Structures are given as structure tokens and as C-alpha cells.
Structure 1
Amino acid sequence: MDGDLFFTKEERENLLKLLIYNVGMNRTLEIIEEWKER
């Protein structure tokens, strides 16, 4: 089995951080939009 399909532990952690960061940014923008509408 070729190892190319698997991420190293470090790569997985970086992807997870990026995902959390992106979700956090989207949520923050939603909150700002909701706040503006009030």
C-alpha cells in the first residue's frame, strides 16, 4: 500500500487547525452580520 494517501501526524494537525480556523472565521462573520442587522 502506497503511503501517499496518508497524511503525517504533523500534516493532519495543520489541516485540523486550518479547518477550525476557517470554521471560526465563518462563524465570526455570521455573528458580525447578525449584530449589524439588530
Structure 2
Amino acid sequence: MQLENQMSQLLLLLAVRKGENAWTMVLHQYKQFWILTLTM
């Protein structure tokens, strides 16, 4: 759970820094990350 928290915070920071355009990329990566964790 702690790793997930750190990941989401990092992605949030990146999204805020790069602007709203990065949000779509972040969400896409986050979705892929969750798919990976669920399939493992």
C-alpha cells in the first residue's frame, strides 16, 4: 500500500508540474500500472 501511495503522489506531482495535458498520460500509465498489479 505504501508503494502505491508514493506512486500516486509522484504521478500527481508530475501532472501538476506538466499541466493538464499530462493528466491523460498519467491516467493511462496509472491504468496500465493497475492492470500489471492485478495480473501479477
Q: Percent identity?
A: 8
Between the two proteins, the alignment pairs up a number of residues equal to 24
So what's the TM-score if we normalise by structure 1? 0.52
Flag as ranges the 4+ runs of structure 1 deviating above 4 A: none
In the superposition, the TM-score normalised over structure 2's length comes to: 0.50
What RMSD, in angstroms, separates the aligned Cα atoms of the two structures?
1.5
Q: Which has the higher contact order (CA 8 A, sep 6+)?
A: 2
Higher helix share: 2
Based on CA coordinates, which of the two structures has the bigger radius of gyration? 1
Structure 2's unaligned 5+ residue stretches are: 1-15
